[in-house]
Amino acid sequence: MNSGKRPDLKPPTNRLACAVREQVSAALGNPTSPVLLHRPFFPAQAWAYVKECLDSGWVSSAGSYVTRFEEMLAKATGCRRAIAMVNGTTALEVSLLLAGVNKGDEVLCPSLSFVATANAISHCGAKPHFVDVCNERLSVSTAALSARLEEVAAITPDGAINRQTGNRIAALCVMHCFGHPADLDGLLSVCKKYSITLVEDAAESLGSFYRGLHTGRTGLVSAVSFNGNKILTTGGGGAILTDDDDLADRARHLTSTAKLPHPYEFRHDEVAWNYRLPNLNAALGVAQLEVLDDIVHAKRSLAEHYRNYLRSIEGVEVLSEPADCFSNYWLNTIVLPESPDCSARDQVLDQLNLFGLQSRPIWVPMHMLPMYASCARGPMGNSESLYRRVVNIPSSPELSPTWVEC
């Protein structure tokens, strides 16, 4: 019979795995169940808000929590408008459409991102065009973007055209990897030179700022995710952020079946989506937004703790926020030394996971996935090297030395 206790395991032998384990033990003692990569935190209020939805019967896409969540999100990010949606992928798809991405266009984006970045582009009928990332931020490199456009783009009255494919290059979709803001000013100035629209995949960067401006506010329109492992989770959920009222109204219309306002009649004026976030999910989001600053504070101090502690391990780099940024440190990130294969990375991952410390590598770069292998791309040296060397370690706020449950 399963006693519920984990079998006794030999402690990890890898120095890095031992050090991570010691840090987790310092916070949680000897955990008896697996330590998740990012455990969601639900403040006490979440129970009351969800109960209110159940008691009132407002559990679906109408209800006061959705509006409240959108208003709080706009306030937390400094954005004029937020439109809550069922997930981050759909929020990104609609963001791209609103930014003018059409069928047959190309959208520049990192190959080293979660697959949803390229999927959202594909769902618009457009094609991803991959650009390499920089080692400091793990997000699109301004130098690589500039070099790639120099190589392939022609500036025409209709915008930038890829001379090799004949397709219009409509947008750059930049992603803020693990919460660390990309070089937004640099990227924006390259985009302006080629009349390319900047869209931000800010799925991972709620609570992160670039030069004092919340991520998601430099691009014309951007998308956030509230998936289960994100810094704030509504179970599943996402949102569009924009400072443009017309785009926000359009997003709201398109994502709620294009229904014309009327007290009781159902009349719709175009083919649209049912992408609106349900009230039940929004209630969870409201409860967490009320304590977002506490969560970000805890995550930043956990990152500092890991950094100080792991510093002594030779050859191991703990990724830090760029100098001009304030990062939410969504996932703590370790970069191992250069390696021709994944063996050193996998040794660390095997030991951490065997010990119940859920850890994972960065995503397989998308140009290495079958459905995106034939997409246009520049050199991928950094993306391929980082793929072999990056490890994310447990990053829940409860692991932080400053964590006090609210």
Of the candidates 23, 77, 87, 351, which one interacts with ligand PLP according to CB under 6 A? 87
Piece of the chain touching ligand PLP by CB under 6 A; list 40-48, 82-90, 370-378, 380-388: 82-90
Number of residues that bind ligand PLP (CB under 6 A): 15
In the numeric block, which tokens belong to residue 344? 């050193």
* Residue 128 beta carbon to ligand PLP: minimum distance, rounded to whole angstroms: 13
Q: Between the CA of residue 175 and those of 126, 141, 223, what are the distances in Å?
A: 18, 11, 10
Is residue 333 near ligand PLP by the rule CB under 6 A?
Answer: no
**Which of the stretches 49-57, 112-120, 127-135, 256-264 binds ligand PLP when contact is defined by CB under 6 A?**
112-120
- Bridge partners of residue 92, in order along the sequence: none
State residue 361 phi and psi, 5-degree precision. -80, 170
**Angstrom distances, CA of residue 374 to CA of 37, 101, 103:** 32, 20, 17
State the burial class of residue 59 (Cβ atoms within 10 Å of its Cβ: 0-12, 13-18, 19+): middle
Distance in Å, CB of 218 to ligand PLP, minimum:
16
Contacts to ligand PLP from residues 161-180, by CB under 6 A: 175
Q: Residue 139 interacts with ligand PLP (CB under 6 A)? A: no
Specify burial of residue 338 (Cβ count, 10 A radius: 0-12, 13-18, 19+). Answer: exposed
Give all strands (DSSP E) within 327-367, no chain letters. 332-335, 360-361
Instruction: Give the chain's end-to-end CA distance (angstroms, integer).
Output: 38
Closest contact distance (angstroms) between CB of 200 and ligand PLP is: 10
With CB under 6 A as the contact rule, the residue among 12, 40, 88, 394 that binds ligand PLP is 88
Q: Residue 121, interface with ligand PLP (CB under 6 A)?
A: no
Q: Strands 221-225 and 153-156, how do they pair?
A: unpaired
Specify the residue, 66 or 203, whose C-beta has the smaller distance to ligand PLP.
203
Helix, coil or strand: residue 138: coil
Stretch that binds ligand PLP, among 59-67, 122-130, 199-207, 348-356 (CB under 6 A): 199-207
Under a CB-based contact definition with an 8 Å cutoff, are residues 161 and 195 in contact?
A: no
Q: How far is the CB of 228 from ligand PLP (least distance, A)?
A: 8
Does position 221 bind ligand PLP by CB under 6 A? no
Crossing angle of the two packed helices 184-193 and 142-152, in degrees rounded to 10: 10
294 contributes a contact to ligand PLP by CB under 6 A: no
User: In 3-state terms, what secondary structure has residue 266?
Assistant: coil
Q: Which residues 6+ apart lie within 8 Å of 263 measured at CB?
A: none
Least distance (Å) between residue 85 CB and ligand PLP: 9
User: Considering the rule CB under 6 A, would residue 288 count as an interface residue with ligand PLP?
Assistant: no
Position closest to ligand PLP via CB: 88
204: contact with ligand PLP by CB under 6 A? yes
70 sits near ligand PLP (criterion: CB under 6 A): no
**For 176-237, where are the E strands, in sequence order?**
197-201, 209-210, 213-214, 221-225
Nearer to ligand PLP, 77 or 162 (CB): 77
Pull the structure tokens for residue 354. 């065997």
Q: Is 85 in the site for ligand PLP (CB under 6 A)?
A: no
Tell me whether residue 180 or residue 388 sits nearer to ligand PLP (CB atom).
180
State the minimum distance, in angstroms, from the CB of residue 140 to ligand PLP.
12
116 binds ligand PLP (CB under 6 A): yes
Establish if 238 lies at the interface with ligand PLP (CB under 6 A). Answer: yes
Q: Which residues bind ligand PLP (CB under 6 A)?
A: 87-89, 92, 113-114, 116-117, 175, 201, 203-204, 225, 227, 238
